[in-house]
Amino acid sequence: MSRLRIFDHDDPAAPLSSTEDLAEIAARLKPIGVRFEQWQANAPVQPGASPEDVMAAYRADIDRLVAENGFNSVDVVSISPDNPAKDAARAKFLDEHYHKEDEVRFFVAGSGLFSLHVGDRVYEIRCEAGDLVGVPDGTTHWFDMGPEPSFIAIRFFTEADGWVGHFTGTDIARRFPRYEPGQAG
Ligand SMILES: [Fe+2]
Nearest to 180 by CA among 152, 153, 149, 151: 149
Residues 147-174 pLDDT 10s: 999 999 999 999 877 678 999 999 999 9
pLDDT in the model for residue 136: 96
Q: 181 vs 95, which has greater pLDDT? A: 95
Q: How far is the CA of 153 from the centre of ligand 1 (A)?
A: 14
Q: How far is the CA of 159 from the centre of ligand 1 (A)?
A: 14
Q: H or E stretch including 110?
A: strand 103-118
Rounded CA separation 122/64 (Å): 29
Q: How far is the CA of 60 from the centre of ligand 1 (A)?
A: 25
pLDDT in the model for residue 183: 58
Nearest to 80 by CA among 136, 151, 158: 151
Per-residue pLDDT at 182 exceeds 80 = no
Per-residue pLDDT at 8 exceeds 90 = yes
Q: How far is the CA of 154 from the centre of ligand 1 (A)?
A: 14
Q: How far is the CA of 161 from the centre of ligand 1 (A)?
A: 13
Residues 83-128 pLDDT 10s: 999 999 999 999 999 999 999 999 999 999 999 999 999 999 999 9
pLDDT in the model for residue 161: 73
In sequence order, what are the residues at sequence separation of 6 or more whose Cβ sits closer than 8 angstroms to the Cβ of residue 89? 79, 83, 145, 149
**What is the mean predicted confidence (pLDDT) over 7-35?**
98
- Half-sphere exposure of residue 183, counting CA atoms within 13 Å on the CB side? 11
pLDDT in the model for residue 184: 47
| pTM over 0.75, yes/no | yes
Q: How far is the CA of 92 from the centre of ligand 1 (A)?
A: 9
**Percentage of residues in the chain with pLDDT exceeding 90?**
89
Single-letter amino acid code for the residue at 125: I
Residues 48-61 pLDDT 10s: 889 999 999 999 99
pLDDT in the model for residue 37: 97
Nearest to 37 by CA among 59, 22, 51, 48: 22
Rounded CA separation 161/165 (Å): 10
Rounded CA separation 110/92 (Å): 19
Q: How far is the CA of 138 from the centre of ligand 1 (A)?
A: 10
Sign for the pseudo-dihedral over CA of 115, 83, 103, 95: positive
pLDDT in the model for residue 185: 46
Rounded to the nearest integer, the mean pLDDT of the chain is: 94
